Amino acid sequence: MKTKIVVIQGSSRSKGDTYKSIQFLREQISFDQVDLWTKDIGPFDYEFQNTEDDFLPLMRQLLADYDTFIFATPVYWYSMSGTMKIFFDRISDLLKIDKETGRKLRGKNMAMISCSGSNDLMPGFEMPFVESAKYLGMNYLGEVHAWVEKGSVAPEAAGLLKDFAAKMKNKLAMEA
């Protein structure tokens, strides 16, 4: 069985630096892509007033079609983007009102790409991803930080993205 990969981009710019990093990664491995900025996903609320937005249909589709989720986010104020944080917060819907869909996260794979203006990622950035994967019963495959200089992925970041792609291929091949 071939593992299907989706990159879920959570940036306030659909074609910004995070996108450039994702496109570089696409040269190394094959995946589909979802741009959260183009989706209507409201914030989590305890009354579940946003159940008619794009979140639940998107999650059902992602869980039906993919085994591996790579979350790609710019670094905003030392953390994931607000767009990505809203998406992660909404996973609570899958724990409260759509548990059947939520259970399908178990055994899926998760990884993370962060992107900023330089090689300046602070320690611990990956913690929400690692701990969320653990809590949801997902396999955390790792992370990579990339950055863009003068409009292109920086050479050092390109090497890191290539290494990340190779590790992903190896880990996923061991699963198959």
pLDDT band at 1 (very low <50, low <70, confident <90, very high): very low
pLDDT, tens digit (0-9, with 9 covering 90-100), for 105-121: 999 999 999 999 999 99
pLDDT band at 173 (very low <50, low <70, confident <90, very high): confident
Q: In 89-110, which positions are buried (b, 16+ CB within 10 angstroms) versus exposed (e)?
A: ebbebbeeebeebbebbeebbb
pLDDT for the residue numbered 171? 85
Task: Set out the domains of the chain in order of their start, with CATH numbers.
Answer: 5-175 (3.40.50.360)
Distances (CA, A) of 98 to 77, 90, 94: 32, 11, 5
| Rounded-to-integer distance, Cα 165 and Cα 148, Å | 18
pLDDT, tens digit (0-9, with 9 covering 90-100), for 61-117: 999 999 999 999 999 999 999 999 999 999 999 999 999 999 999 999 999 999 999
